[in-house]
Every structure is written in C-alpha cells, then in structure tokens.
Amino acid sequence: MAVVFGSMEWYEQVKELANKDEGFKKGTADWEGAVRTVVIMDEELLKDYSREEYVRGFMSTVSLMSKEQRAQFEGTPMGNLMKKLGYSLDVDIATIDPAESAKRFSQLTLDDVKGVEMHGVFEPYHGILREMRPIMPDEYKDARFTLTGPYSAWKALCSGKQTSVQLVMSGKIKLEGDMSYMMKHMAAMNALTKLYSQIELV
C-alpha cells in the first residue's frame, strides 16, 4: 500500500521493513549513532499538500504531539503556518477536515512556509533500527549526524531516485557530523537508501 512520505505510516513501514531486511541488517552491522533529519518545506511540499492524502499524513505526525508540545511552536514558523491554515496549536486534530486543509494549503505561497521544518530521527544499531520516528525540534540535538534539506530532496532520496551521497555531494542535503565515519560506513547508507526505495510513495 502506498504511503505518504513523512507520515506515521511511512515511519512504521520503514522500521518494520528494516528489522526484517537482511541487506539492512548486514549493511548496518557495525553502525552506531543516531541520525537527526530536518526536512524544510518547499514548493514541492506545497504542491503535494494540496492533496487530501498528504494532509492526512501530515496530521498523523502532528497528532503524536501533545497539546503541551504543540504549544512550544507558538511564535515559530510552524506555529505561524498553523495559524495561516486557520488552526490554533491546541486544536483537536481529529476535528480537522483534510479536504478543507488541502484547499488552504493550495492557497499558500512559498513565503508562507519559509523556515518551517519537520524533524525526525533514525538510529540503526548493530543491524537493528531501534529508533525511527518524527521528533520535536529540541530532541536529539547531540545526534552523531544531522541531515538537512528541502522536502523535494528528501522525497528524491526516499523514492530511490537519488542516493544520500549524491544529494550530499550536490549540496541538496547538508551533512553535519563525522564525514569520515560516514564514508567508512557507506554500506549502511546504501542499505538505508535501498530500504527507502522499497516503500511505495503516494
């Protein structure tokens, strides 16, 4: 079943597949350290999020946050985006109409989502993907690596169109962390890219 990139269903599929995929287990057998991911909203996201299924995927990750956690976004680009969509940060996510939200997304401009980021983490450890989920911006600040890039670059990676190395070397995704460790463990990065490509995206 096709899933929306970055949705809760996508995270769950990646983790489930990783922990039964022999190629992933072998490729990450000696990997240690979490990788923090930062996805920056861009024009491609605005195009995708004008579709109901993408809004449902977005809301599935937002629903994981408590109202107290969402309150932390007050005055931030993400908090401002919610206001532009017509929602307060303490809104009951279950009451949001995906069709109406998709319509509102379609009316936004790139300036409306400037600075809006979505955060996640994946943590392979000796062949097991023990963490794979969306996170709050202040979580995993001490991660071994941080990968930052626009939504379009992440989607290219997770659809198998480009590898993480291609995206980092081209400057589309920025890598912060121990590059030498990353280069010595390319099998892990290649295994993850292959894993992503096995998941059908909407």
Domain boundaries, the chain: 8-197
Q: Which of 39-43, 73-77, 91-95, 183-187 has the lowest mean pLDDT?
A: 183-187
Mean pLDDT of the chain: 93
- Give the integer Cα–Cα distance in Å for 61 and 59: 5
pLDDT-derived band of residue 37, with 50, 70 and 90 as boundaries? very high
Instruction: For residues 96-105, give the mean pLDDT.
Output: 96
Section 82-104 average pLDDT: 94
What pLDDT, on the 0 to 100 scale, is given for residue 97?
95
Q: Judge residue 183's burial from the number of C-beta atoms within 10 Å of its C-beta, 0-12 exposed, 13-18 middle, 19 or more buried.
A: exposed
Which long-range contacts link 79-86 to residues 24+ away (Cβ below 8 Å)? 81/41, 81/112, 81/113, 81/116, 84/108, 84/112
Is the domain spanning 8-197 CATH 3.30.1050.10? The answer is yes
Q: Averaged over 165-183, what is the pLDDT?
A: 91
